[in-house]
Amino acid sequence: MNFSDLELAEPVLRAVTMEKYTTPSPIQAQTIPQLLAGKDVLGCAQTGTGKTAAFALPIIHRLYEQGVPRGRRAPRALVLTPTRELAAQVGASFNSLGRYTGLKTAIIFGGVGQGPQAAALRSGVDVVVTTPGRLIDLMNQRLVDLRQINTLVLDEADHMLDMGFIHDVKRIIAKIPGERHTMLFSATMPKEIASLAAAVLKDPVNIAVAAVSSAVETVAQTVYHVEKAKKGPLLVDLLQNGGIKTGLVFSRTKHGADKICRMLNAAGIQSGAIHGNKSQSARKQALDSFKRGKLRVLVATDIAARGIDIQALPHVVNYDLPDVPETYVHRIGRTGRAVTSA
């Protein structure tokens, strides 16, 4: 199957070509036709499967076909994501895949001033990609008008649950029109998410591209049995002699992340840490330096790492093993991101 078989509008296909996507990934091949036909979708897909474009492309197509008003207008599509990083990344996908359509996307999250976000909303946008907390702040101040929303996406719904956002998500859904096109994506399907899905989706098509909680197949996994005190020296050794040139290291705690980072820097391995105690700008700076190759290692906590999309990330190190299997799946999903074709 090719993207041109998917009956996407010409400016959307042109953006797909610019992104150098040739073949739709399995989730895209299954989801896009259903969403184009207006069906609600319950997608069970982990990160790295191409799920963002699976919903962004049909949404952009449908909004474009509805017509792109100029100037002030209320948003018609709302995408809720659990983290700032994921909101930034999904928003960037809407911008790049929608670049030839004239559609505008606002990316909204906390931890930064709300002024520019409120200004973007005031000037008129078609899509809002947001974390729940900041959206509720803006709703309380009447700075966002959700009355025209006709498309709703809940992305990484299991993480919204883990992070305690489900109540906020329900409050937001209560404020948007019931007559709408809804899609929910989640890497795992705990029963709370299944019941949320049953409440918000109408007669959905179920699409699953990998078994629930299974690790992505493209990732080779290695385990080292060592005593706790030897974990640090082992990591340094792997980075100095073990063929790990660059990678993302997961720490259970913020304090632990800083400690690992100090240890690596002391060993001459350029590293940076991202976690919830760092400001948004410090996180962005560390991530950018890592992407540019100025840092060999990025040390992160799970929450801070969500939504990070780094092309060709060769290694993920679980310095501390997570307690929840799904977290492990998410962590290692940061590598092996080559999307397999349908």
Applying CB under 6 A, the residues found at the interface with ligand AMP are 21, 24-25, 28, 47-53, 309, 311, 337, 339
Nearest distance from C-beta of residue 315 to ligand AMP, angstroms: 17
Q: Output 3 or 250, the one with its CB closest to ligand AMP.
A: 3
Q: Output 158 or 309, the one with its CB closest to ligand AMP.
A: 309
C-alpha distances out from residue 262 to 133, 230, 232, 271, Å: 32, 16, 11, 8
Nearest distance from C-beta of residue 40 to ligand AMP, angstroms: 19
Nearest distance from C-beta of residue 58 to ligand AMP, angstroms: 13
Helix (H) or strand (E) holding 159: helix 157-162
Within a 10 A sphere around the Cβ of 314, how many other Cβ atoms?
Answer: 13
Q: Output 59 or 146, the one with its CB closest to ligand AMP.
A: 59
Nearest distance from C-beta of residue 129 to ligand AMP, angstroms: 13
Please, what's the b/e burial string for 133-155 (b: 16 or more CB within 10 A of its CB; e: otherwise)? bbbbebeeeebbebeebbbbbbb
- Show Cβ contacts of residue 88 under 8 Å, excluding neighbours closer than 6 positions: 107, 109, 307
Q: Output 80 or 339, the one with its CB closest to ligand AMP.
A: 339
Q: Output 51 or 315, the one with its CB closest to ligand AMP.
A: 51
First to last CA, the chain: 7
d(C-alpha 179, C-alpha 97), whole Å: 26
Token output for 283 = 């996180």
Q: What are phi and psi of 15, to 5 degrees?
A: -65, -35
d(C-alpha 164, C-alpha 82), whole Å: 9
Q: Output 50 or 82, the one with its CB closest to ligand AMP.
A: 50
Token output for 1 = 């199957």
d(C-alpha 258, C-alpha 134), whole Å: 27
Helix (H) or strand (E) holding 84: helix 84-97
Token output for 50 = 């191409």
Q: Using CB atoms within 10 A of its CB, is residue 317 exposed (0-12), middle (13-18) or buried (19+)? A: buried
Q: Output 114 or 218, the one with its CB closest to ligand AMP.
A: 218
d(C-alpha 46, C-alpha 217), whole Å: 11
Nearest distance from C-beta of residue 51 to ligand AMP, angstroms: 5
Nearest distance from C-beta of residue 44 to ligand AMP, angstroms: 13
Nearest distance from C-beta of residue 278 to ligand AMP, angstroms: 23
Q: Output 140 or 311, the one with its CB closest to ligand AMP.
A: 311
Nearest distance from C-beta of residue 139 to ligand AMP, angstroms: 27
